[in-house]
């Protein structure tokens, strides 16, 4: 008995890396899997591999960046397996650059795959899930959404995926469709391309170590869990807190530049937030915490 017995799931970007691990583990847990990837050879190989072990899988080579193709990915699951219970919106890409050296084509491609792809495939899937009476969507975000050097465009798409997930979770609760986001950490091609990530991520962070979390969220064992952002980083598994309106909330009939300056020079100064994944202190906060060490 696997935790996904009888279910049919779509995993995008499943030809390699984390997506491949989700697909293999989902199949081992009993699911029929649509292995989607624009890299056709890899998608076929993973599907073949699953079938070789006696599992059920078909390859989809559609791109998530086109709404019609996204519908076909989902449609394939219905045609082949007669239902759709889960979607893992995993396809993604990144690149490092200083923001002033970023180029519009790379920006557009990243937004198209990482954000529009998630939206298009998610919309196609939720239409089917509504008809069917429920389902589970797992959107792959990234800790980069807190803000990371040289990854601004990527980080922005992953932040958008986080807020998309919580918004969908609100809209889909009454439809019995759960939506959660996962921030994985694993050695994959995406990490191998970046010297900094290679240094930062220990070699034992393999994609297979993240897969059980994704499987759990897809499964009925996760009933009642929706709107959550969960990070899996080696030995660490934790929830990611949601942004919130921070105290003190100051009130005034009007906020002119003089009164705004006064509160930033005064009460708000100590409440400035460290920012980015590295929790960088803004200079004014640093000056308060470590006087004379503003560099």
Ligand X SMILES: NC(=O)c1ccc[n+]([C@@H]2O[C@H](COP(=O)([O-])OP(=O)(O)OC[C@H]3O[C@@H](n4cnc5c(N)ncnc54)[C@H](O)[C@@H]3O)[C@@H](O)[C@H]2O)c1
Residues labelled catalytic: 154
At residue 98, φ and ψ (nearest 5 deg) are -70, 140
Number of chain positions touching ligand X (CB under 6 A): 32
Q: Is 102 in the site for ligand X (CB under 6 A)?
A: no
Q: From residue 13 to residue 32, what is the string marking binding to ligand X with x (rule CB under 6 A)?
A: x-xxxxx-------------
Q: Is 139 in the site for ligand X (CB under 6 A)?
A: no
Q: Is 135 in the site for ligand X (CB under 6 A)?
A: no
Q: Which residue number, 126 or 161, has a Cβ lying nearer to ligand X?
A: 161
Scanning the structure block, which residue is given the tokens 């040289």?
150
Q: Is 38 in the site for ligand X (CB under 6 A)?
A: yes
Q: Is 60 in the site for ligand X (CB under 6 A)?
A: no
Q: Which of 198, 208, 186 minimizes the C-alpha distance to 28?
A: 208
Report the chain's terminal Cα–Cα distance, integer Å: 58
Both tokens assigned to 47? 């599907």
- Cis status of the peptide bond prior to 248, with omega within 30 of 0: yes
Q: Is 71 in the site for ligand X (CB under 6 A)?
A: no
Question: Given 3-state DSSP classes, what are the helix, strand and coil percentages for the chain, each rounded to the nearest 5?
Answer: 50, 15, 35
Quick one: which of 32, 84, 87, 140 contacts ligand X (CB under 6 A)? 140
d(CA 197, CA 177): 34
Q: Is 148 in the site for ligand X (CB under 6 A)?
A: no
d(CA 227, CA 250): 29
Quick one: which of 24, 172, 181, 186 contacts ligand X (CB under 6 A)? 186
Q: Is 217 in the site for ligand X (CB under 6 A)?
A: no
Interface residues with ligand X (CB under 6 A)?
A: 12-13, 15-19, 36-39, 42, 63-65, 90-94, 113, 117, 140, 142, 183-186, 188-191
């Amino acid at each position: 008995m696997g935790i996904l017995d009888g279910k049919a799931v779509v995993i995008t970007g499943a030809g390699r890396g984390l997506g491949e691990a989700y697909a293999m583990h989902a199949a081992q847990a009993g699911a029929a899997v649509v292995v989607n990837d624009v890299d056709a050879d890899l998608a076929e190989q993973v599907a073949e591999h699953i079938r070789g072990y006696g599992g059920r899988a078909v390859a989809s080579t559609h791109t998530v960046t086109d709404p019609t193709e996204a519908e076909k990915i989902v449609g394939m699951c219905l045609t082949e397996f007669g239902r759709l219970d889960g979607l893992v919106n995993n396809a993604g890409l990144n690149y490092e650059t200083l923001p002033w050296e970023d180029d519009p084509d790379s920006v557009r491609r990243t937004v198209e795959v990482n954000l529009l792809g998630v939206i298009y495939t998610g919309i196609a899937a939720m239409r089917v899930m509504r008809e069917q009476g429920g389902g589970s969507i797992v959107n792959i975000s990234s800790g980069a959404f807190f803000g990371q050097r040289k990854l601004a465009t990527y980080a922005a798409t992953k932040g958008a995926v986080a807020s998309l997930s919580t918004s969908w979770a609100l809209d889909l609760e009454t439809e019995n469709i759960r939506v959660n986001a996962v921030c994985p950490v694993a050695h994959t091609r995406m990490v191998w391309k970046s010297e900094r990530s290679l240094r930062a991520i220990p070699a034992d962070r393999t994609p297979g170590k993240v897969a059980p979390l994704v499987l759990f969220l897809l499964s009925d064992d996760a009933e009642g869990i929706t709107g959550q952002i969960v990070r899996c980083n080696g030995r660490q598994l934790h929830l990611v807190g949601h942004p919130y309106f921070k105290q003190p909330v100051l009130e005034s009939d009007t906020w002119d530049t003089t009164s705004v300056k006064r509160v930033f020079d005064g009460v708000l100064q100590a409440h400035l937030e460290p920012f980015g994944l590295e929790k960088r202190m803004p200079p004014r906060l640093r000056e308060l915490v470590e006087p004379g060490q503003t560099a």
